[in-house]
Amino acid sequence: MSTSEQGEHGAPADTSAQDAPGGSFDDLGIEPRVRAAITDVGYETPSPIQAATIPPLMDGRDVVGLAQTGTGKTAAFAIPILSRLDTSARTPQALILAPTRELALQVSEAFGRYSAHMPEVKVLPIYGGQSYGVQLAGLRRGAQVIVGTPGRVIDHLDKKTLDISGLEFLVLDEADEMLTMGFAEDVERILAETPDTKQVALFSATMPSSIRRLAQRYLKSPQEITVKSKTATAQNITQRYLQVSHQRKLDALTRFLEVEEFDAMIVFVRTKQATEELAEKLRSRGLSAVAINGDLAQAQRERTINQLKNGSIDILVATDVAARGLDVDRISHVVNYDIPHDTESYVHRIGRTGRAGRSGNALLFVSPRERHLLRAIERATRQELTEIGLPSVDDVNAQRVAKFGESITQNLSSDNLDLFRGLIENYARDNDVAMADIAAALALETRDGGFLLSPDPPESEKRANRERERTPRRPGASFATYRIAVGRKHKVSPGAIVGAIANEGGLTRADFGNISIRDDFSLVELPDDLDNETLSSLRHTKIGKNPIDIRKDLGSPRTRGGKRGGPQGGRDNWGKRPSPRVAGRSRRS
């Protein structure tokens, strides 16, 4: 690997991780058992931060790594530490400091995965909120790797229950976050009590002057490694916003949850009280939502996070502080119910999704008075958020009908079907009632008398939707309407349509206009100059198991669904309102 040479007067050498070759883990001199564990985990090639960081750490050099969370930095320091441990000794050789207990547990679990073939290696997390007894027992048994929060590490140093006099490796993970949270004195005391011969790795998302001073004072000619990013937020996170008044936020969120497919979600609000109130309102609407805030006892907090991990609950309503260090693979969506007042909070919030290369989704609620905050977020992240419309009552009802049909299909395979079929047949014969009427009556009973379909929307919403449909195209935009052979009955979503066509056709989001999903087909606005080769490749593209069979729409009244023609003549699909770059007036106006 090519690295820049050490500068004069001990200045850190500067390496861009993007310049480092990906290579192979086999080229990095990793301990064979660690290498085997990496293979088990499924890692094939090192990420940029790993390729640039592992070699100098294996060589014994101090390192300053500038990288956002989710870039693979835990493996970047865990792999060389495990490769160089003296596994015959049970005294602490490596100490990893993390700002939150969640991150400490996450790092500890990662060390456990990477040392799966090294049973003699013991990793012990120590953090506030956990019983001292558990930690004291672990320290007495001995552990080579300690992962802890600064406050609890200081507690054990004061009690003489933790001995770091023989420490060989020290890692400061998310150092900027530790200093922001007020751990500066604790961190400096811990550094001062460790041997001068130790190797230090400092990882931080930013390099404020406080971190620079810490590195200059305690690190020896460190190699500085930077993971450069074109934007402050991950490219694999789809960012959207919805303009909605404060009074209609709950209704908007409820509709969003009904029409959007998601695995797990964090909904961010500003206050502890708001977490409890919103979670209760969501539960009353039949959603598995739980509040998580600073008042939650640690045991309950860990139980809640485990429930989110195993699928027992799907929605966390959280404050910024409560979600720090939270890393759950299932989180596919982050909703900013209350817009943050600083851009760093926004970046940290949406960083809870789209982890480790997965795709993620972020939705921001913006009231008319908060548009200046939206503009500040776009400037800071250098990314433009896509505006969406409020999911319509028709969208919600279509989704409910689809789910109702799915429940019938699922129950048709039940082992108890024959029993109930006999009961229904007897009832129909004895009472001379049609089977369809009996099925409808039973469906009504299972819904406790509730309505399957929502009532018509208020007139104000109808006016807003009509206004959206009248939005003119931007002059010069050249689009044609294409018809694809999948629709509502195929359970397609706007995101699935965009993803399939963009991936196979080499298109970007800016190449899409309106998308209108009908019962058995959809209409999509795309550039009118798509070449035959692109169209041919797209024709055999599938969404799910269904070929889309894309072709230009001929514009018959039956397919258009309105007098003016085109998708704008029908109801716009809520999820893909035309991007301002493609069609329609700018949202800045």
pLDDT tens digits, one per residue of 425-476 = 888 888 888 888 877 777 766 554 445 555 555 555 555 444 433 333 333 4
The DSSP code for 369 is G
Q: Which residue has the higher pLDDT, 358 or 192?
A: 192
Q: Are residues 196 and 269 in the same domain?
A: no
Q: Are residues 503 and 401 in the same domain?
A: no
Are 214 and 2 in contact, with CB atoms under 8 Å apart? Answer: no
The closest of 449, 448, 427 to 438, measured between CA atoms, is 427
Residue 113 to residues 82, 120, 368, Cα–Cα distance (Å): 11, 13, 48
> Which of 226, 245, 265 marks a domain boundary?
226
Of the pLDDT bands very low, low, confident and very high (cuts 50, 70, 90), residue 68 is low
SS3 365: strand
Residue position matching structure tokens 């908060």: 370
Q: Residue 556 domain-assigned?
A: yes
Q: Are residues 399 and 386 in the same domain?
A: no
Q: Are residues 217 and 282 in the same domain?
A: no
Of the pLDDT bands very low, low, confident and very high (cuts 50, 70, 90), residue 587 is very low
* Among the ranges given (49-53, 93-97, 384-388, 537-541), the one the predictor scored with the smallest mean pLDDT: 537-541
Q: Are residues 221 and 332 in the same domain?
A: no
Q: Are residues 426 and 359 in the same domain?
A: no
Handedness of CA 86, 91, 94, 100 (dihedral sign): positive
Note the maximum CA span of the chain: 98
Q: Are residues 341 and 256 in the same domain?
A: yes
> Which of 194, 226, 258 marks a domain boundary?
226
Q: Residue 198 domain-assigned?
A: yes
Q: Are residues 28 and 119 in the same domain?
A: yes
Q: Are residues 202 and 315 in the same domain?
A: no
Q: Are residues 265 and 210 in the same domain?
A: no
* Among the ranges given (147-161, 251-265, 369-383), the one the predictor scored with the smallest mean pLDDT: 369-383
Residue 301 to residues 293, 308, 329, 350, 572, Cα–Cα distance (Å): 9, 11, 17, 20, 41
Which helix (DSSP H) or strand (DSSP E) does residue 281 occupy?
helix 272-284
Q: Residue 583 domain-assigned?
A: no
Q: Residue 589 domain-assigned?
A: no
Paired strand residues for 94:
145, 169
| Complete DSSP assignment for 5-69 | PP-GGGPPEEEEGGGS----GGGGT--HHHHHHHHHHT--S--HHHHHHHHHHHTT--EEEE--T
CATH number at 363 reads 3.40.50.300
Question: 405 is in which domain, residue-wise?
Answer: 394-446
Q: Are residues 156 and 14 in the same domain?
A: yes
Whether pLDDT at 527 is above 90: no
Phi/psi of residue 553, each to 5°?
Answer: -75, 135
Q: Copy the structure tokens of residue 332.
A: 């596919």
Are 343 and 381 in contact, with CB atoms under 8 Å apart? Answer: yes
Mean pLDDT to the nearest integer, 25-42: 89
- The 10 Å Cβ neighbour count of residue 127 is 22
Q: Copy the structure tokens of residue 496.
A: 């699935």
What is the model's pLDDT at position 394? 65
Q: Which residue has the higher pLDDT, 45 or 96?
A: 96
Q: Residue 586 domain-assigned?
A: no
The closest of 94, 103, 45 to 74, measured between CA atoms, is 103
Q: What is the pTM of this model?
A: 0.48
What is the model's pLDDT at position 532? 76
- Give dist(CA 126, CA 128) in Å, integer: 7
Q: How many domains does the chain have?
A: 4
Whether pLDDT at 496 is above 70: yes
Q: Residue 451 domain-assigned?
A: no
Query: Between 150-158 and 184-192, two packed helices, what is the crossing angle to 10 degrees?
Result: 50
Q: Copy the structure tokens of residue 125.
A: 């997390």
Q: Residue 584 domain-assigned?
A: no
Q: Are residues 40 and 188 in the same domain?
A: yes
What is the model's pLDDT at position 224? 93
